[in-house]
Amino acid sequence: MSAIYIARANEVAARSLDGEMMIMSARDSTLFTLNPVGTIIWQSADGKTTLEEIVENKICAEFEVDPEEALKDVESFVADLAGHGIIVVSDVPISLATTSLGGS
Amino acid sequence: MGALATTAGQEVIIEIGCMPVQVRSGSSAFLQMIAERYSGFLNPDASPVFELNVDLVAPGRITEEEDLSVRFESGRWLIERGDLRAEWEPASRRGLIVQSPNPYSIDTALRIIHSLILAQEGGLLVHAASAARNGKGFLFAGISGAGQPTISRLAPPDVTLRTDEISYLRRNGHGYVAHGTPFAGELARVGENVQAPLAALYLLRKGPDNAIEPVSANEAARMLLENVLFFAQDPKLVSLVFESACELVSNVPVYRLTFFPDERIWEWIA
C-alpha cells in the first residue's frame, strides 16, 4: 500500500476551544468539531508525515487501539474531511504553500 | 418632518451600530417612508461612513436571482434577490440599490452591507434578541421558537429592549458592545438605539422551570455561528466571522437559559 500524506487546506479557519478543535470550511461554511483523535490527526497533518506514521506514533501511542483498525477508521475520517476541502490528501509529500482549496 | 436631513430633503442618515449611512433618493415620499421606519436611528448631523443611492423602479422582478446572492466582483459587492439589486464598493464607500418603493428591500441591503463591514472589523450581526439592564448588555439567541420574542415581551420596565430580531455586536478591545438595531422581528417594533457592553450571551430554550447553566466554549461557538447572519460567498470573510464567533465565546460568558415563560425569568438576568 502506498503512503498517504495529509495537509491542512489553506482556506479553512480552525480554533481550539476547550481542548477540541473546531474547523470551518471557508468554502461552504461547514463546521466540524473534532474529537481528541480527530484533533491529533488535524494537528499532525503537516504534509510530510504519512498517515500510517500518524496512526502509529500519535494515535496508538495515546489510545489503546488496534493499529490496523485505527488506520482504517482514520482513512475514512480523512476522506470525509478531504471531501469538504478542509484537508488535502496525496500519495507524495505536500508543500503547505500549495494546499489551497481545490488543490491536491 | 424634521428627521429628513440636509440638502433639498433628498437624503437621510441612518446610524446603526455607530455607523452612519447616508441614503439618497429622488423620491421624497420614499425617504419619508424610510425616515419613519428608521426613526430613532436617524442622525442628520453624523458624517456618513458610506453612501447609498436608491434608484426606484416599478414593482416587479428586478433580477433573475430567486435566492439571495451576495458576491464580490471587480472591486464591489453585488447583492441580488428577486426584489432588489444592490452594489456596494468598499473602496469608495458608495453603493447603489435598485428596488421598488418598499421598505423591505433596502432593509435587506442594509443588513447585508452592515454584516460585510462588521465581519472585517471583528463584529457580528446575530439573529438574537438583546436588551440592556443596569448598563450591561445581554444577548438571547436560540433556534426558531426558542423564545427570543417571548423573553423580550416579558422584560420589566428597567430593561431596555434593543432588538428582538437582529443584534449588532462590535468589538471593543477584548470585549463586545451590543447595539440596538431597527431590524424588527416578531414584535414588529424597532429596537432602541442604545448600546452597552455585552455581559452575557444566553442560549434560550423553553422549559417547565427556570434553570441556568454554563455552556462549553465549543458548543457556544457552534450555537452562535448557527445564528450569525452572513450571506457572502467569500472564504476570507467566512474565516473572519468564524474567528469572531470563537473570540466572542472566549471572552463573554455563555449560558444555557431554560425558562418558563413568565416574568420571573428576569430575576435571573442582571
Residue B2 lies in a domain: no
Q: What is the 3-state secondary structure (H, E, C) of B201-264?
A: EEEEEECCCCEEEECCHHHHHHHHHHHECCCCCCHHHHHHHHHHHHHHHHHCCEEEEEECCCHH
**Mean local confidence (pLDDT), B121-127:** 93
CA–CA min distance B218, chain A (Å): 5
Same domain, B116 and B128: no
- Which of B70, B93, B121 terminates a domain? The answer is B121
Question: B168: pLDDT confidence band, cut at 50, 70 and 90?
Answer: very high
pLDDT at B190 over 80: no
- In this structure, whether the domain defined by A5-91 belongs to CATH 3.40.50.300 is answered with no
Which pLDDT score is estimated for B8? 46
Residue B114 lies in a domain: yes
Which pLDDT score is estimated for B116? 94
Domain that holds residue B37: 7-121
Same domain, B180 and B73: no
When mean pLDDT is compared over A35-49, B175-189, B190-204, the highest value belongs to: A35-49
**Helix pair A36-44, A67-83: axis angle to 10 deg:** 70
Higher-confidence position of B270 and B242: B242
Closest CB to A29 among B217, B221, B238: B238
Residue B100's Cα: distance from chain center in Å?
A: 22
Which pLDDT score is estimated for A1? 61
How many Cβ pairs closer than 8 A exist between chain A and B?
Answer: 42
pTM for this entry: 0.85
Same domain, B71 and B157: no
Same domain, B135 and B80: no
Same domain, B24 and B99: yes
**Mean local confidence (pLDDT), A64-88:** 92
Domain count, chain B: 2
- Which of B121, B149, B169 terminates a domain? The answer is B121
Q: Are strands B254-259 and B195-206 parallel, antiparallel or unpaired?
A: parallel
Same domain, B65 and B24: yes
pLDDT at B9 over 60: no
Same domain, B43 and B177: no
Same domain, B96 and B222: no
Alpha carbons B183 and B143: distance in angstroms, whole number: 18
Contacts of A85 in chain B (CB under 8 A): none
pLDDT at B88 over 80: yes
Higher-confidence position of A29 and B241: B241
The SS3 call for residue B99 is strand
Alpha carbons A58 and A71: distance in angstroms, whole number: 12
Which pLDDT score is estimated for A97? 64
- Which of B121, B147, B175 terminates a domain? The answer is B121
pLDDT at B12 over 50: yes
**Mean local confidence (pLDDT), A71-86:** 92
pLDDT at B188 over 60: no
**Mean local confidence (pLDDT), B175-204:** 79
Question: A84: pLDDT confidence band, cut at 50, 70 and 90?
Answer: confident
Which residue matches cell numbers 490528501?
A89
Chain A interface includes B222 (CB < 8 A):
yes
Which pLDDT score is estimated for B133? 92
Mean pLDDT (chain B) is: 88
pLDDT tens-digit readout, B200-245: 999 998 899 999 999 999 999 999 999 999 988 888 899 999 999 9
Same domain, B143 and B258: yes
Chain A interface includes B264 (CB < 8 A):
no
Which pLDDT score is estimated for B74? 95
Residue B1 lies in a domain: no
Same domain, B63 and B189: no
Chain A interface includes B251 (CB < 8 A):
no
Same domain, B98 and B165: no
Same domain, B128 and B165: yes
